[in-house]
Chain A
Amino acid sequence: SQTIHQWPATLVQPVGSPLSLECTVEGTSNPNLYWYRQAAGRGLQLLFYSVGIGQISSEVPQNLSASRPQDRQFILSSKKLLLSDSGFYLCAWSVPGQGNQPQHFGDGTRLSIL
């Protein structure tokens, strides 16, 4: 069966510091991968998605970036964090090439910027 792992679970970072969040999927090949941000009490904002290694689409221009160095690894990064980057970051995967399929979410990373 497929599993998705995100880490760390929680992170407290100062303004201006760098960021690296990692997501890996097991049990499937060439998944579609997604990064979402959820502000407190709010909905899901799609940040990036990827349909293959090295292929990244950005939904919202901001100081975050994403990379997919391996088939089942998706990384969210920032060179300098802003206060507004605080939130709950969720990685998700879906089966590619079979029409519309559900997205399956990881447990998320709660990021607090001080």
Chain B
Amino acid sequence: GENVEQHPSTLSVQEGDSAVIKCTYSDSASNYFPWYKQELGKRPQLIIDIRSNVGEKKDQRIAVTLNKTAKHFSLHITETQPEDSAVYFCAASRGDMRFGAGTRLTVKP
């Protein structure tokens, strides 16, 4: 089955800096890659997703890139703000979604 690895497990940046979280997946048939943000004690919420026919997608300060050949995808957050502090999960799916272990992002004011 699919195996998703996510790095780093923790990330601390200064407000205004960029943050990058990387994920690799094992199943080349995976074709859908969502990213979720989970604030403390709350439910994971979808923030952006990308499908395998697209290499990059942007939504304001967040972007996701996908390299199908290398089987990795990344989340980029620019101009980080304290409210970006949360745990971020990547996932890969070809019908059955598998999640990475999460990255705890801390943005210091």
Q: Which residues of B contact A (CB under 8 A)?
A: 31-32, 34, 41-46, 49, 51, 89, 93-102
Whether A44 contacts B42 by the Cβ 8 Å rule is no
How distant is the Cα of A43 from the Cα of B98 in the complex, in angstroms? Answer: 11
Whether B89 contacts A43 by the Cβ 8 Å rule is yes
Residues from chain B with Cβ under 8 Å of A108 in the complex = 42-43
Please name the residue on chain B nearest to A107 by beta carbon: B43
How distant is the Cα of A49 from the Cα of B96 in the complex, in angstroms? Answer: 10
Whether B93 contacts A105 by the Cβ 8 Å rule is no
Contact flag A105-B31 (CB < 8 Å), given A43-B101, A44-B99: no
Interface 0/1 of A91-114, CB less than 8 Å to B: 000000001111111111010000
Residues from chain B with Cβ under 8 Å of A106 in the complex = 43
What would 15 A/B residue contacts be, using CB atoms closer than 8 Å? A43-B100, A44-B89, A44-B99, A49-B96, A100-B32, A100-B51, A100-B93, A100-B94, A100-B97, A101-B32, A103-B46, A105-B43, A105-B45, A107-B42, A108-B43
Identify which of B34, B93, B102 contacts A43 (C-beta below 8 A): B102
How distant is the Cα of A49 from the Cα of B32 in the complex, in angstroms? Answer: 18
Whether A43 contacts B43 by the Cβ 8 Å rule is no
Whether B31 contacts A100 by the Cβ 8 Å rule is yes
Whether A102 contacts B101 by the Cβ 8 Å rule is no
Whether A42 contacts B97 by the Cβ 8 Å rule is no
Whether B43 contacts A90 by the Cβ 8 Å rule is yes
Whether B99 contacts A43 by the Cβ 8 Å rule is yes
